[in-house]
A = this chain, B = another copy of it.
Amino acid sequence: MSKTPTPSGGFGPSIQALDPWTPSAGRMRQLLTDDERARLAVMSTIVRFKKGEIIYQEGDRADAVFNLNSGIVTTYSKAPRGREHVVAFLLADDLFGLSAEGLYTNSTRALTAVTAYRLPVAALRSRLTKDAELEFHIMCKLCQELRQARHHAFLLSQRSAVTKLAMFLQLFEQLQIAKGEPASEIHLPMDRSDIGEYTGITLAAVSRGFRTLTIRGIIKVRDRHHVRIVDRSGFEKITGDPPQSPTQLVEAGRN
Contact = CB atoms under 8 A, between A and B. Distances in A.
Q: In the complex this chain forms, how many copies of it are found?
A: 2
A88 interface: yes
Instruction: Tell me what chain A mostly uses at the interface: helix, strand, loop, or mixed.
Output: loop
Contacts of A246: 9
10 contacts: A6-B140, A11-B88, A12-B91, A13-B89, A13-B90, A17-B66, A17-B99, A18-B98, A19-B102, A149-B153
A41 to B, nearest CB: 15
Contact of A135 (B4, B96, B119, B137): B4
A17 B100 CA distance: 9
A16 to B, nearest CB: 3
Nearest to A248: B101
A172 interface: yes
Interface of A: 1-24, 27-33, 62, 65-66, 73, 75, 77, 79-80, 85, 87-91, 93-102, 105-106, 119, 121, 124-125, 128-132, 135-150, 152-154, 156-159, 163, 171-172, 174-175, 178, 200, 240, 246-255
Contacts of A247: 9, 100-101
A7 B135 contact: yes
A21 B7 contact: yes
- Greatest chain B CB density within 10 A among A7, A14, A75, A94 is at A7
A21 to B, nearest CB: 7
B5 A98 contact: no
A28 B2 contact: no
A95 B137 CA distance: 21
